[in-house]
Amino acid sequence: MEIAVCVKPVPDPETRLRPGPDQRTLDVEGVKFVLAGYDESAVEQALLLRDQLPGSTVRALAYGPAPRTPEVLRSCLALGCDSVTHLEASAPVDDPMAVAAALAHVLASRPADLVLVGKQALDDEEGLVAPALGALLERPSFSSVTDLRWNPERSRFTFQRSTDTEIERWEAPVPLVIGLQQAWNDPRTAKLPNILKARRQPIDTVPAATIEAAVAGRNGRSLPLKFELPAPRAGARMIDYSTPAEAAERLVRLLREEAKVFP
Amino acid sequence: MTPGLVVIGELRDGRPTEASREAAGVAYQLAAGAPVTGLLFGSPEDSLTSSWARDGISEVCFLPPPTDAARQAGALIPGVLSVLSERSAELVLLPSTTFGRELAGGLAARWDAGAATGVTAIHRGAAGWEVRRPVFGGRATETRSLSGPRAVVALRPRAFPAPEPRDLPGASTQRSMPEVGAVAKGPTLVGTEPVLTGEGPALGDATIVVAGGRGVRSADQFHLIEELAAALDAAVGASRAVTDAGWRPTSLQVGQTGRTVTPQLYIAVGISGAIQHIVGMIGSRVIVAINSDASAPIFKVADYGIVGDLFQIVPALLAEIRRVRGR
Ligand SMILES: Cc1cc2nc3c(=O)[nH]c(=O)nc-3n(C[C@H](O)[C@H](O)[C@H](O)COP(=O)(O)OP(=O)(O)OC[C@H]3O[C@@H](n4cnc5c(N)ncnc54)[C@H](O)[C@@H]3O)c2cc1C
Ligand SMILES: Nc1ncnc2c1ncn2[C@@H]1O[C@H](COP(=O)(O)O)[C@@H](O)[C@H]1O
């Protein structure tokens, strides 16, 4: 089985957030970009499936500028992905619909049986790429998926999808696009020899011009205008009290009269 | 020309959900008097949509309800596209729920639209629709411009007020649209189970969330949290310490590896406030923390804090809430 896993280079989760000089996006000066969040779990899931299905290959794809994008792809190689494809970009990509169009273009010329995507990216949290890819590749797609497993007897995947009110259990053959929301697998970490080996492994590239031509026809665009931090919370107003009943009475009064959030 | 505005709603027990009503209210304001089309998957006979009309929907169109095999948003897109083109729609609003986000991504791809999810504010800007949305787990906010002739915007539940019922002229008309497109063959729904949220509202949907942590000490004592939630008509949440210990199901977990919630009020009881928990609730409007340790990090993000033993404070709080609410 050919498994493709789409990964987005995202700021290290420990990054101190602040607006960049133009105030439009995050200040990326000195920020380390990494494979993180749901994408890290998606890579782990892809590798686990490959172990279970002899003869399978795992290919990681990422769309974005150098050096952050090839760096993250190298970490995918170090984790054990068989090949990686860099969709080159001359500037940071921050429109998820353009990302989906670019990935769909590349996946159309070399289809995968299973396309794994994070349910949402750690930074922008749009959750648009998985369903958009499904629509563009004309394949069934599911987001918020957990517990993805291959059932060899039935040659199908089984998985769960959680909506706000229900957990659905599904069974589906390939081809399939899955937006993973995985919380159960503790992703492996790359071993040093593999990290060193990954430095010498080839990275397939699709030139920026090819990608730009493929997505140029799109009309709908999403463009960041402003990046802001919330006003710092002043710290909790601590409630003085001498008895629990007094604490309760004061809190309820504040919630009703000041915060106005009491039902 | 006024933009064609379409709201796609979700039905629960035959009624538009709260989040769908909020979307209708936003659409009504953006339309500034122009008609707003509402779109539901269901049948007029089985649905009670009068509240939606009062929220600002001028006409409700029904597409056939998704069959089990069509619980994928992708299967619904051809029908939605037919309504959008008939209405010369420019903007689609829908709730940013699991269903809404799946539909938003697929629809925007096929409709060649700009898209954004989890949106907490929207207005018409110079170059298109401008939307605000929390990013990085609520640690920052971005403003985006959606340019181009069409946009799909998924609105974060509870970020907009429930619309005031309006006395709108003309009863809404209802009609069923023909079925368009075929359902992709292959995936089959094997079964469903309700997300265990107890009695109250769904976690992602609730105006108030009461969450308990390891400080609650045991599965048995966790019912204190549930009682407090019930008294406030709130949803129950939990820290990972609680779900890992198996005191309550993982579906209640709030945080980095659980759910992100953005209620009006979040009450954290016996939760220390680890960063992995914080990122799941920092977008809440008002945060209350109850913890016996005055130096617990949760107090750094809380608006109101009570330092004390939860086994004393929560019963007192329960009594006071019942007294004030008269039940
Ligand atoms: C990769 C990763 C992902 C994670 N994802 C999540 C996640 O999604 N959600 C999540 O919640 N955590 C997550 N965690 C775990 C997180 O780091 C914390 O361990 C967890 O949130 C702690 O839960 P807690 O606050 O309930 O427990 P503790 O940290 O043990 O805190 C218990 C609190 O209760 C207070 N207390 C004790 N007794 C009383 C009393 N009688 N009255 C009042 N207060 C009392 C204590 O003072 C203490 O502050 C994750 C961790 C990792 C490494
Ligand atoms: N630039 C990118 N390159 C490759 N995959 C991406 C990129 N951006 C997003 N994705 C994938 O799409 C998922 C959802 O992203 P988003 O829709 O932006 O929240 C991510 O978890 C990735 O799997």
Q: Do B109 and A135 touch (CB under 8 A)?
A: yes
Write out chain A residues lying below 8 Å of B97, CB-based: 163-164
Q: Given this model, what pLDDT does residue B184 score?
A: 56
Q: Residue B1's pLDDT band (boundaries 50, 70, 90)? A: very low
Contact between A49 and A24 under an 8 Å Cβ cutoff? The reply is no
Sign of CA dihedral B106, B112, B117, B122: negative
Other CB atoms within 10 A of residue A45 CB: 25
Nearest CA to ligand 2 atom 8: A8
For residue A8, report the distance from its CA to the centre of ligand 2, in Å.
Answer: 5
Domains defined along chain B, listed by start: 4-174 (3.40.50.620), 208-325 (3.40.50.1220)
The Cα-based distances of A95 to A43, B45, B117 in angstroms read 22, 41, 12
According to CATH, the superfamily of the domain at A2-215 is HUPs (3.40.50.620)
Q: Does residue A226 surpass a pLDDT of 90?
A: yes
pLDDT digits (tens, 9 = 90+) for A105-131: 999 999 999 999 998 888 888 999 999
What is the C-alpha to C-alpha distance for residues B151 and B133, in angstroms, rounded to an integer?
Answer: 15
pTM of structure: 0.85
Question: Which residues 167-196 in chain B show a CB within 8 A of chain A?
Answer: 184, 186-195
Residue scoring higher pLDDT (A96 or B166): A96
Please report, as a single letter, which amino acid is at residue B227. Answer: E
Asked if B166 has any chain A CB less than 8 Å from its own CB, the reply is: no
CB B107 within 8 A of CB B74: no
Q: A54 in contact with B at a CB cutoff of 8 Å?
A: no
Do the bridges between strand B208-212 and strand A2-6 make them parallel or antiparallel, or are there none, so unpaired?
unpaired
CA of A127 to the centre of ligand 1 (A): 27
Partners of residue B145 in chain A, C-beta under 8 Å? 222-223, 225
Per-residue pLDDT tens over the stretch B99-138? 999 999 999 999 999 999 999 999 998 889 999 998 987 7
Instruction: Report CB contact under 8 Å: A248, B302.
Output: no
B303: nearest CB among A225, A236, A248 = A236
Q: Does A108 touch chain B (CB under 8 A)?
A: no
Considering just the CA atoms, what is the radius of gyration of chain A in Å? 22
Q: Are strands A114-118 and A141-151 parallel, antiparallel or unpaired?
A: unpaired
> Does the CA dihedral A234-B292-A253-A256 come out positive or negative?
positive
Q: What is the pLDDT of residue A129?
A: 96
**Which chain A positions have a beta carbon within 8 Å of B205's beta carbon?**
164
A14, closest residue in chain B (CA to CA): B275
Surface of B (229-248) touching A: CB under 8 A? 232-233
* Residue-by-residue DSSP string for A52-94: HSTT-EEEEEEEE-TTHHHHHHHHHHHHT-SEEEEEE-SS---
Whether residue A243 is predicted with pLDDT greater than 90 in this model: the reply is yes
**Contact call for residues A182 and A144 (beta carbons, < 8 A):** no
Q: What residues does each domain of chain A span?
A: 2-215, 230-263
Calpha distance B36→B89 (Å, rounded): 10
Q: Looking at ligand 1, which residue's alpha carbon is closest to its atom 7?
A: B255
pLDDT band at B158 (very low <50, low <70, confident <90, very high): confident
What are the pLDDT digits (tens) for A139-186?
999 998 988 999 999 999 999 998 877 889 999 999 999 999 875 557
Q: Where are the beta strands (DSSP E) in A163-207?
A: 166-172, 176-180, 204-206
A182-195 pLDDT, tens digit each: 755 578 899 999 99
| pLDDT over 60 at A37, yes or no | yes
Ligand 2 center to A86 CA (angstroms): 13
pLDDT at B37: 93
Q: What average pLDDT does range B5-24 have in this prediction?
A: 92
